[in-house]
Amino acid sequence: MTDEQVRAIYELVKWAPTAMNQQPLRVVLVRSAEARERLLAHLSPGNRTKTRSAPLTAIAVDTEFHEHLPELFPHYPGARDVFADDSARERSARFNGALQVGYLLLGIRAAGLAAGPMGGFDAAGVDREFFPDGRHRALLVVNIGAPAADAWFDRLPRLHHEQVLTTV
Amino acid sequence: MTDEQVRAIYELVKWAPTAMNQQPLRVVLVRSAEARERLLAHLSPGNRTKTRSAPLTAIAVDTEFHEHLPELFPHYPGARDVFADDSARERSARFNGALQVGYLLLGIRAAGLAAGPMGGFDAAGVDREFFPDGRHRALLVVNIGAPAADAWFDRLPRLHHEQVLTTV
């Protein structure tokens, strides 16, 4: 998994929308053996073996996006102040960061690779370990690459459209 | 915007992943004039005119997904109990619901339609108005359809990959 492959995925998924164009998602590529060990310590035991052998592991995080709003949403000069409040900003960053994680997972798969998202980790531990300045919060850990042929589980059932779609 | 078009979008986006296959997203299609008026009252003023004239408006919500886990994640009989706690369930539903909203927005666009997502609404008001049983929480309101030729703003800037991707 080269940096060029990862950049190509970003160049695709960056276009999908976020509220007020806030783009809170940041992606930390865990490449060094030392950083990988530090991450493994905060994963649920069941996620460690596959993460140890993954071609690349990424930590998807959100950040204090409001600093960038004057550039990203220039027609509304008050945008930055809307999110000066920590609680409003963190809530928006988490939701819009999750939207962008969804785009990222589809972008990885659109590139012909597998994305193995893992919610089973100690988010507070990852944040302390990798982001001691308190400005980022881990959303999801994702293994990326071409998995072994025996890596797949059977597909699990999806809800029927009548369970999901209603009309008023 | 027919029900068949909406179902085709769902049949595509339903495959994208959620944690423990929880699939918390539900989509409420606002079709009646009466329901549209009730929704408009809870939107930010700037979102009302375009929503009044949209071919279709949907409210994306999350729900108490844990009831479905015995069917959706059958190899882990304890899955439902993991999310019996309201706080853990709501946090997971909001994050995974947002992932699915991201998939939905891309699915609408993949169908050749425009998706106009709007975060500017009173979520608590929408919940009280449409979901008095307390089991759903509005995540996003989305206009769907073929917009008028003059409906578009210029595209806003996206962050450079060096601002988003880091390596450790």
Q: Are A139 and A61 in contact (CB under 8 A)?
A: yes
- Chain B residues within an 8 Å CB radius of A4: none
Confidence of residue B168 (pLDDT cuts 50, 70, 90): very high
User: How close is the nearest chain B Cα to the Cα of A50, in Å?
Assistant: 17
Do the chains contact at A159 and B28, CB–CB below 8 Å? no
Q: Are A149 and A139 in contact (CB under 8 A)?
A: no
Please report the pLDDT score of residue B154 as a whole number.
86
Tell me: the pLDDT tens digits for A22-52?
999 999 999 999 999 999 999 999 999 999 9
Please report the pLDDT score of residue A148 as a whole number.
78
- Chain A residues within an 8 Å CB radius of B168: 28-32, 35, 130
User: How close is the nearest chain A Cα to the Cα of B113, in Å?
Assistant: 14
User: How close is the nearest chain B Cα to the Cα of A103, in Å?
Assistant: 6
Please report the pLDDT score of residue A36 as a whole number.
98
Region B159-164 average pLDDT: 98
Rounded CA-CA distance A116/B94 in Å is 20
How is residue A2 written in tokens?
A: 């080269």
Tell me: the pLDDT tens digits for B61-92?
999 999 999 999 999 989 999 899 999 999 99
Region A50-73 average pLDDT: 96
Residue of chain A with shortest Cα separation from B73: A156
Confidence of residue B159 (pLDDT cuts 50, 70, 90): very high
Instruction: Evaluate if residue B150 carries a pLDDT over 90.
Output: no
Please report the pLDDT score of residue A60 as a whole number.
97
Listing from the earlier edge strand, what are the strands of the sheet with B56-63?
Answer: A165-167, B26-30, B56-63, B136-145, B114-118
**Percent above pLDDT 70 for chain B:** 100
Please report the pLDDT score of residue B20 as a whole number.
95
Residue of chain B with shortest Cα separation from A61: B164
How is residue B141 written in tokens?
A: 């309101």
Residue of chain B with shortest Cα separation from A153: B75
User: How close is the nearest chain B Cα to the Cα of A44, in Å?
Assistant: 14
Instruction: Evaluate if residue A154 carries a pLDDT over 90.
Output: no
Please report the pLDDT score of residue B147 as a whole number.
77
- Bridge-based pairing of strands B165-167 and B56-63 is unpaired
Q: Is A52 left (phi over 0), alpha (psi -120 to 50) or beta?
A: alpha
pTM score of the predicted model: 0.96
Kindly report which listed range (A12-26, A139-153, B11-25) carries the lowest average pLDDT score: A139-153
Q: How many CB atoms lie within 10 A of CB B87?
A: 7
Please report the pLDDT score of residue A147 as a whole number.
77
Please report the pLDDT score of residue B127 as a whole number.
98
Specify the amino acid at residue A33.
A
Do the chains contact at B166 and A102, CB–CB below 8 Å? no
Tell me: the pLDDT tens digits for A76-119?
989 999 899 999 999 999 999 999 999 999 999 999 999 999 99
Instruction: Evaluate if residue B102 carries a pLDDT over 90.
Output: yes
Rounded CA-CA distance A90/A129 in Å is 19
Residue of chain B with shortest Cα separation from A118: B19
Q: How many CB atoms lie within 10 A of CB A142?
A: 22
Tell me: the pLDDT tens digits for A117-141?
999 999 999 999 999 999 999 999 9
Confidence of residue B160 (pLDDT cuts 50, 70, 90): very high
